[in-house]
Structure 1
Amino acid sequence: MTPRDALEHLWMLAHPHDSAATHQAAFDTVDIEGDDPGLPSVFRIGTLAAASIGAAGLAAARLHRLRGGPEQRVGIDVRRALAAFRSERYLSVDGGAPFELRHPVTGYFETRDDRWIQLHANFAHHLHGILRVLGCGERRDDVAHAIRTHWDGAALDEALAQAGLCAALVRTPREWAALEQAQAVASLPLLEIERIGDGDDGAPLPRHGARPLDGVRVLDLTRIIAGPVAGRVLAHHGADVLLVNGPHLPNIAPLVIDNGRGKRSATLDLREAQDRAQLHALVRDADVFLQGYRPGALAAHGFAPEMLARERPGIVCVSICAYSHRGPWRERRGFDSLVQSASGIVWAESVAAAHGGVMPATEADASTGASVCKPFDALRPLPCQALDHATGYLAAYGAMVALARRAQEGGSWHVRVSLAQTGRWLQTMGTLAQGQRVPDVCAQDLADCFEEMDTPFGRVRAVASAERLERTPAFYARPSVPIGTDAPHWAARSGPREAG
């Protein structure tokens, strides 16, 4: 599958009723440069990056055309797309070194039955919960000894999941495919765009904005990477994005800086009735409600998509989660790296590394005489958080497609994506037999992909927007700011809105 093949698949998936001629007219406006492998991986992550970013750019261009703007070309370069997929790796403040984002206990550990399990302990409450389950000290060596001595892999995976903690057994693709959760994911499309409310034919886009999303208000209730990337994409196409965090919820400072570009930032505590009322007030004037909580988590507070559609007809709700909204793992906590481990992606990369960077033809060929589940001595994930970034761009893409449908048909809409669905799509693209043998890319190789901006954190160097729109180039109108800098209120809209 080439980047263009993947982009065309994404466009047709979200526009199933368009004619072949209409599809072709959209495709003819897109220029794509480059191909895989762009980073050392057996997976087609360059294709994933170019397609997801390109689809978001094409959707933005289409929205601008719907509101009276001119036709324009959209360009995407695989090299720049992959730089965007590693944006947190290249972030620098005041010329300092890149940030270390992982706690020492986050990583892979050998189990008593010669399996591997990955722990995710970047948040203090997750770390302390893992240590309680293991009954050990907090040094990495303490954790490794406890797991190697007392725990089989599957048992520990289940115990940590039951405790609401973040971990994943490293499975083969075949093991993953046999699980009920994998089958649930396989039953879903890559992204869902569902109409959840009728009425409100008077919720069109503003007319004649200078940028595709000028005047569009986005509530961003997300943290870490996937959801914040989605909000950041909407911001760099002109949306007014208000990030709303709970004051008690943990964040990772470099990710706040990288993914907060273009956004304002407020705090509301949804455990408090007054703050819930304030969020409801914001919803009533919002166009997009973007959230990354586990499925059903916001419903108890009155913010389920169907509730929001009744409260604010015409709203576009976007839901992002780890393992999808179906199956026994739908409420399981997860991150990009854990989904890679659970679904066989890490296993495939690790096997290829153990075979000199060449991917064996089958799982059976990967066995070195030991357990097929551990035919390697070291673990190797993807060279970037590809599932996070792609899911973020797909969420933004879905939001813009839904806004276009709202402008044309009315109604309220719900967009759903997950890391596991994105991972499955990546796996269906096939592998590159010698993909790991290409050289890695460092920041010095990407100097033309960076931009700098003065922020409250200092002088920030970060990866610039990867998609190129001929007439409405993507950019960040605001610097990133510390969590809670702004009041939880909308700024005044600029320019007239189209009458219903």
Structure 2
Amino acid sequence: MKEIAESLDLPEGGFDITGTGDFPSAFAVTDLATAAYGYLGASLAGLIGQDKSRPNVTVDRRLASLWYAQSIHPFGWELPPVWDALAGVYETRDGWVRLHTNLPHHKAAALRVLGCEPDLDAVQRAIRSWGADEVETSIVAEGGVAAMMRSEAEWAAHPQGAAVAAEPLIQWSNWSGPAKSWDMRPDRPLSGLKVLDLTRVLAGPVSTRTLAGYGAEVLRIDPPGWDEPNLVPDITLGKRCARLDLRHLTDRGPFEALLAEADILIHGYRPGALAGLGYDEATRRDINPGLIEVTLDAYGWTGPWAGRRGFDSLVQMSCGIADTGRVWAASTKPTPLPVQALDHATGYLMAAAAVRLLDRAARGKGIGTARLSLARTAELLKPYRQDRIGTLDKRPEQADLSPETEYTPWGAAFRLRPALTIEGAPMKWDRPASALGSVAASW
């Protein structure tokens, strides 16, 4: 995918591809998975080979696809369900809408708007009397999250769709700052670097999990009480996880100490949210002039929805992917991608962006930031339609799994083998997945 290479300022290609298979979809999801991994590998190879030849990079397209589904496979225990009982698509009087109710406050907001009990049948009955746009607008206004199904043409004509289409895949900004140096080992290129992880759910955590796989020390910070039980075992691999509440004075000092020592900050706060906590960009630079930042939001950084909460499944509904899938599947219902591909692809692109910023800073070319969004990644994918019948199953075979047992707080598990191979620099993690809030908030 040429646009990824151009966005990362890399030559097109630069990696080999092995493995076979494609996810069944109207869109070339496996091609996206492979390309995102490949250009991540090319970014790392460039960092490793700054003053010498670059190592070879190979992506296994089958494993790349499987990592977009689930990387951890428990032995003798089970992950909680991915979705809340009320999450899903509902038929309205004039179309379809998706509710995302995995978080308690989002679920409560939807139920307040619908005026019904937390029962699937009750929600279905209540929502049939609403128009799709009406229920989306009302739930969002109440502090919840929802998305009506729009066609690709309707999204292109929508003010937010037009705004997102005009944005670059990766928005860069740079300024002068101290040259970044660390004792980079070719076999662990990110070893010695501290990554402060202020991300939730999926895209951001995927990016920091990836950086940990090449040696970065990742510390994830969550507020008290926050949990993602269906995702944490999958996406905290290689990380340490602590808790701080930035609304409380006693936790702000420790946070600022962490920020001052960090090499990279990765966060998923919507525009203005960190500033609202007292940490606008100028303040962050004052605390740490050499801080590299990578951040994302759901619906883009410009336009009327720039501050709207959202998730992969909702963006697919808004931007036309679910509708195009419906036509492809000859269905009356929205048909999403077979995996949360916008989340995962954005996560790997975020990791690649962090590496490119490191490369630039190590060459004395300044410090910078990168911004990405799920909606813009959707625009990257939409032109790539599937021209073959995909039959790839999300369930791994034994050969797809690493032979080593991972001992997590929840029990033993097997992890997928890495999809990315960089000559002389294996992707591996120094610690198993960990529970949120399991360590002190310190480096």
Normalised by the size of structure 1, how large is the TM-score? Answer: 0.84
> Match of 1:33, as an amino acid?
T
- Residues 207 and 110 (structure 1), Cα distance of their counterparts in 2 relative to 1, 3 Å cut: closer
2:18 aligned residue (33, 55, 59): 33
Are residue 439 (structure 1) and residue 415 (structure 2) matched?
A: no
1:383 aligned residue (328, 338, 341): 338
Give aligned-pair identity as a percent. Answer: 37
- 1:106-121 equivalence runs, <5 A: 106-113=87-94, 115-121=95-101
Deviation at 1:450, TM superposition (A): 4.4
> Match of 2:372, as an amino acid?
V
Q: Which moved more, 1:204-213 or 1:392-401?
A: 204-213
Q: Is the 8 A contact 2:400 2:416 kept in 1?
A: no
* Residue of structure 1 in register with 2:429 after alignment: 476
Q: Residue 254 of structure 1: SS of its match in structure 2?
A: coil
Are residue 163 (structure 1) and residue 122 (structure 2) matched?
A: no
2:178 aligned residue (200, 205, 208): 200
Q: Residue 232 of structure 1: SS of its match in structure 2?
A: helix
* Residue of structure 1 in register with 2:400 after alignment: 448
Q: Residue 59 of structure 2: SS of its match in structure 1?
A: strand
> Match of 1:152, as an amino acid?
G
Deviation at 1:170, TM superposition (A): 0.5
Aligned length: 442
1:240 aligned residue (212, 217, 230): 217
* Residue of structure 2 in register with 1:130 after alignment: 110
> Match of 2:130, as an amino acid?
W
1:105 aligned residue (86, 105, 128): 86
RMSD: 1.9
Q: Residue 274 of structure 1: SS of its match in structure 2?
A: helix
> Match of 1:32, as an amino acid?
I
> Match of 1:335, as an amino acid?
F
TM-superposition CA deviations, 1:252-271 (whole Å, max 9, x none): 21311111000011111111
Gaps of 5+ in 1: 1-5, 17-22, 355-375, 491-500
Q: Residue 319 of structure 1: SS of its match in structure 2?
A: strand
> Match of 2:163, as an amino acid?
A
Q: Is the 8 A contact 1:101 1:252 kept in 2?
A: no
Q: Residue 253 of structure 1: SS of its match in structure 2?
A: coil
Are residue 78 (structure 1) and residue 61 (structure 2) matched?
A: yes
Q: Residue 240 of structure 2: SS of its match in structure 1?
A: strand
| Runs of 4+ with deviation above 3 angstroms | 68-71, 95-99, 207-210, 444-447, 449-452
* Residue of structure 2 in register with 1:318 after alignment: 294
Deviation at 1:210, TM superposition (A): 3.9
Deviation at 1:440, TM superposition (A): 4.1
> Match of 1:108, as an amino acid?
V
Q: Residue 111 of structure 2: SS of its match in structure 1?
A: helix
1:463 aligned residue (408, 411, 416): 416
Q: Is the 8 A contact 2:167 2:376 kept in 1?
A: yes
> Match of 2:415, as an amino acid?
A
Q: Is the 8 A contact 2:190 2:215 kept in 1?
A: yes
- Residues 273 and 352 (structure 1), Cα distance of their counterparts in 2 relative to 1, 3 Å cut: same
Q: Is the 8 A contact 1:83 1:449 kept in 2?
A: no
Q: Is the 8 A contact 1:176 1:343 kept in 2?
A: yes
Gaps of 5+ in 2: none
Q: In structure 1, how many angstroms separate the alpha carbons of the residues matched to 2:216 and 2:279?
A: 22
* Residue of structure 2 in register with 1:145 after alignment: 125
Q: Residue 90 of structure 2: SS of its match in structure 1?
A: strand
- 1:16-415 equivalence runs, <5 A: 23=11, 27-28=13-14, 30-33=15-18, 38-66=22-50, 71-87=54-70, 91-97=72-78, 99-113=80-94, 115-148=95-128, 150-195=129-174, 197-201=175-179, 203-208=180-185, 210-249=187-226, 251-354=227-330, 376-415=331-370
Q: Which moved more, 1:393-402 or 1:49-58?
A: 49-58
Q: In structure 2, how many angstroms separate the alpha carbons of the residues matched to 1:71 and 1:312?
A: 31
Which has the higher Rg, Structure 1 or Structure 2?
A: 1
> Match of 2:162, as an amino acid?
Q
- Residues 179 and 450 (structure 1), Cα distance of their counterparts in 2 relative to 1, 3 Å cut: farther
Q: Residue 409 of structure 1: SS of its match in structure 2?
A: coil
Q: Is the 8 A contact 1:220 1:243 kept in 2?
A: yes
